[in-house]
Amino acid sequence: MNSLPFNIDSIRAEFPILHQQVNGHRLAFLDNAASSQRPDAVIDAVSHYYRNDHANVHRGVHHLSHRATDAYEGAREKIRAFINARSIREIVFTSGTTESINLLANSLGQTMQAGDEVIVSRMEHHSNIVPWKLLAERMGIVIKVAPINEQGELVLDELAKLFSAKTKLLAIAHVSNALGTINPVADIVALAKQHDVPVLLDGAQAVPHSKVDVQAIDCDFYAFSSHKMCGPTGIGVLYARESLLENMPLFMGGGEMVISVSFEKTIYNDLPYRFEAGTPPIAQAIGLGAAVDYLEGIGMDNIAAYEHQLLELATTALSDIDGLRIIGTAAEKAAVISFVFDDIHPHDLGTVLDHQGVAIRTGHHCANPVMDFFGVPGTARASLAFYNDAEDIEQLVKALHVAVGMFR
């Protein structure tokens, strides 16, 4: 690898989980697209909060509640700055990407009628298909699907043809979890704007790996999960352009999202709180704030540059293995490598690799339409993070040779 933008050994030292043996081997954790690992800074922030500051937020007059509220709202501001939203009013905390998209579907769905159209793409994760399918079943909206090509890239000319006067939303992945394809989201948003159609980007696989600037992209909605970007599980974000969020119908009701309630009249809270019913994931938000600090400390551009080098190293090494076929060869790719052998089932491969300390994901990756397009039941997927190193790739390649030897 060329000169590295950071000291990888120092980075790895900050992730305690990486330093263990699995099945008698050094752990090579290559399942980061499913969920990343956490550095000490995040583990410590969550632990410190529980040890010192925990109370419910926005409710108490007492000291701990103020401290917890400050830490929780401080995290919201960090996330706003991280994705360059204009205001914290645009940052809605959810439980993750899945809930962010469901929130949007259930809110915007109230403004749609039978026959209205939502455009998605063939490469979506089920989280960006099923919420729209539910609307289709419940109220007759129509889902239009933008095709992909053999490289796993969106066919933009075909996408352009799908817009009509009835299109109410374009909902599309920023980065595909199954293929690694990075979509040209700014161009896609510009296209949608020509038709006056708002755009939701599923950024679950983009935010952890590169700088995302929602104003530069000019999208209307952007969803992502904390647990894929070194933060805790159980929290995610829906960024929503304030002018749209302001007029969006409410979805979940309960405490926090109201200012006063009587049986005659309810006064709803300000943004973003009116979309956050109930006690929020406080420790998780604080942990996510710590993850943002940590990632920014390394620098998202450094992370992207390093992961790109790792991707090239791994792609070259895997391409040399007899019979291995990479699924997803887009020109613009994040550090995800899906692959198949015609004569070895992905699950068998995953099991043999695990016996050698190598963690990958196998199966359809919650992206059945992608698997159907490529005519495979599933793939083996190695997904990289900035704390992986060349030794992880060597271990993967060695383990694959062992597996090939066993099954042939």
Q: Which residues bind ligand C6P (CB under 6 A)?
A: 33-34, 96-98, 125, 127, 173, 177, 202, 204-205, 225, 361, 365-366
- Distance in Å, CB of 108 to ligand C6P, minimum: 18
Q: Which is nearer to ligand C6P, 38 or 365 (CB)?
A: 365
**Torsion angles phi and psi, residue 321, rounded to 5:** -85, 125
- Alpha carbon of 343 to those of 317, 319, 328, 403: distances in Å? 20, 16, 19, 11
- Distance in Å, CB of 177 to ligand C6P, minimum: 3
- Distance in Å, CB of 129 to ligand C6P, minimum: 10
- Distance in Å, CB of 404 to ligand C6P, minimum: 24
The helix/strand/coil state of 393 is helix
**Chain residue whose CB lies nearest ligand C6P:** 177
Q: Which is nearer to ligand C6P, 38 or 361 (CB)?
A: 361
Q: Which is nearer to ligand C6P, 76 or 227 (CB)?
A: 227
The Cα 367–Cα 216 span in angstroms is: 28
Partnered with residue 360 across adjacent β-strands are none
**Contact criterion met (CB below 8 Å) for 360 and 30:** yes
Measured from the Cβ of residue 338, the count of other Cβ atoms closer than 10 Å reads 32
The Cα 253–Cα 255 span in angstroms is: 7
* Helix ranges (DSSP H) in 21-62: 40-48
366 catalytic per annotation: yes
Question: Catalytic pick from 34, 366, 376, 402?
Answer: 366
- Alpha carbon of 253 to those of 35, 94, 120, 268, 345: distances in Å? 30, 14, 28, 10, 46
Q: Which is nearer to ligand C6P, 45 or 359 (CB)?
A: 359
Q: Which is nearer to ligand C6P, 225 or 269 (CB)?
A: 225
- Distance in Å, CB of 42 to ligand C6P, minimum: 16
**Contact criterion met (CB below 8 Å) for 84 and 98:** no
Indicate which residues carry an active-site annotation.
366
